[in-house]
Amino acid sequence: MEFTVQTANPAKVETACLVVPVFKDGDLLPAAAKLDDASERLIGQLIERGDFSAGLGNVQMIPFAPGVSGERLLLVGLGERDKCNEAAFRKALDAAFATLAKLPVSDAAAAFTDVPVGEHGCAWKARMTLEAAERAIYRFVEFKSDPAPAAKLERVTLLVGDGQDAEAAKQGARIGAAIGAGINVTRTLGNLPGNVCTPRYLAEQAEALGKGSDGALEVEILDEEALEALGAGSLLSVGRGSAEPSRLIVMKYQGADNPDDAPHVLVGKGITFDTGGISLKAGEAMDEMKFDMCGAASVFGTVNAVLAIRPKINLVAIVAAAENMPDGLATKPGDIIKTLKGLTVEVLNTDAEGRLVLCDALTYAERFQPASVVDIATLTGAAIIALGHHATGLLSNDDDLALDLLEAGETAWDRAWHLPLWEEYQEQLDSNFADLANIGGRPAGTITAACFLSRFADQFPWAHLDIAGTAWTSGKQKGASGRPVGLLTQYLLDREADAEVETGDE
């Protein structure tokens, strides 16, 4: 999505559609007031006469407004002024851009940076606006013979009241557009069916990303032979029953002035389909297990955003990709496998496969001597029971890292919630026959899954994001959400800001 910033009087702006947010009390924000003055009090009268109710997310299209250069005017309800928090602001943005994405307009000029939202400044509001615009034009129609027409919207002009805010609006819009595009990359990878999006397909996507990056992204793919030679027996055990070979995908981005700066590492669970293996899942909604690579997809989306923004940090992105199927060669309950770290695992349930691919990827991360490691995984159904579909589960061996991620989630409005990783839970993983078991029973399933991973993350500050409840929507709106690309990208941008403080750079 292209964008520009304008500080001119909104009534004079040439555009296919002016977008103007309005509070329910009818007290107009600066941009709306200017339009109202120019248009014989059109907006004020619509509200006074009750022809437009500015309830949150309501929209009203006005085909033409006297005295206004824009070809159309779209009023967007913000609801009650004292309830205008981040969630309400995003809801109004989503309503506005859902409408715009259906109109025959290729550009729009929106006045959302006027809206008071907590302590947020112009940059944050510009960023949310472009993110919403990107998300709204997303379509997944690759497999439709007669798809609904694509959205026409290509360019958003941000109307900014104060010229001093123009630069901040531009910076924010740039980040919002990059995050929105990254979210859409993640949604597409998630939405692709398991017969297309295989471990090899993910590896090809990484290679294509590397090729298109002008040398900014170095890509390395480990095939099954390389993984065997390495000793990644746990990752390999998951794909044993599949005709699709497993892959470990490594993408390196060097943005820091010093190439030796310790990198931040992202690790994504890339189970391209999870049948449960020999511990076969029930049939209902099993199709949704094509989304079991959404952790990996969020890593790809974040790498895309990083390549667009180019922050001065070093990043290593690792994807552990496999397909979990039952067949004559598949791992069985009771089998004992040897991980890359050397620990042995008794596989009591082959459906707890995510932790088995991630543990070897975490061990692999040790070689980068990372500043931090964050893994992202659709790891446990228990995360949905605990947190539903709003908060991502966060567990960590480092409270500072946990806090950084929580804050990034608040800023990006892609929130996580901290769960305990207390020592007391670890004994649920005791095995009679191996160093540890791969399941810890029904109590606290999300926590014991993280306990399993923690055994492989003792060499660095590490956090785990369980996105089972947040990575996709079920039912009629079935589709990948693109979370937590916003959180992850913000986390990395905050690390760039930290580094600047340390070196005194601007």
Which C-beta is closer to ligand BES: that of 122 or that of 289? 289
Cα separation, 56 vs 49, in Å, equals 18
**Is 281 an annotated catalytic residue?**
yes
For residue 424, the tally of other CB atoms under 10 A from its CB is 10
Q: 274: annotated binding-site residue?
A: yes
Q: Is 292 annotated as a binding residue?
A: yes
Site for ligand BES in 440-459 (CB under 6 A): 445
Question: Using CB under 5 A, which of 36, 107, 114, 351 touches Mn ion?
Answer: 351
**Is residue 292 involved in binding Zn ion (CB under 5 A)?**
yes
301 touches ligand BES (CB under 6 A): no
The active-site residue out of 355, 455, 483, 495 is 355
Q: Is 346 in the site for Zn ion (CB under 5 A)?
A: no
Structure tokens of 203? 């590896």
- Which is nearer to ligand BES, 76 or 437 (by Cβ)? 437
Q: Which is nearer to Mn ion, 274 or 323 (CB)?
A: 274
Residues in contact with ligand BES, counted by CB under 6 A, come to a total of: 15
Residue 360 assigned ligand-binding role: no
Which of 468, 480, 485, 499: binder of ligand BES (CB under 6 A)? 468
In the numeric block, the tokens 């993350």 are attached to 457
Q: Is position 220 annotated in a ligand binding site?
A: no
Which candidate in 200, 281, 312, 338 is catalytic?
Answer: 281
Do residues 403 and 466 make contact, with C-beta atoms less than 8 angstroms apart?
no
The residue among 10 and 277 lying less far from Zn ion, judged by its C-beta, is 277
Q: Determine the Cα–Cα distance for residues 351 and 348; give it in Å rounded to an integer.
A: 9
- Regarding 349 and contact with ligand BES (CB under 6 A), the answer is yes
Would you say 352 or 434 has its CB closer to ligand BES? Answer: 352
Supply 156's token pair.
């958003």
Structure token digits, residue 219: 């890509």
Q: Is 352 in the site for ligand BES (CB under 6 A)?
A: yes
Phi, then psi, of 77 in degrees rounded to 5: -75, 130
Task: Provide, rounded to whole angstroms, the least separation between the CB of residue 274 and Zn ion.
Answer: 4
Residue 422's CB is within 10 A of a number of other CB atoms, namely 10
What count of residues does the chain have? 506
Round the CA-based radius of gyration of the chain to a whole number and report it: 24
Given the DSSP bridges, would you call strands 107-110 and 155-159 parallel, antiparallel or unpaired?
parallel
Question: Which DSSP string do the residues of 246-306 spell out, in sequence order?
Answer: PEEEEEEEE-SSSTTSPPEEEEEEEEEEE--TTSPPPSTTGGGGGGGGHHHHHHHHHHHHH
Return binding residues for Mn(2+): 269, 274, 292, 351, 353
Question: What is the contact surface with ligand BES in residues (CB under 6 A)?
Answer: 274, 292, 349, 351-354, 378-382, 439, 445, 468
The residues assigned a catalytic role are: 281, 355
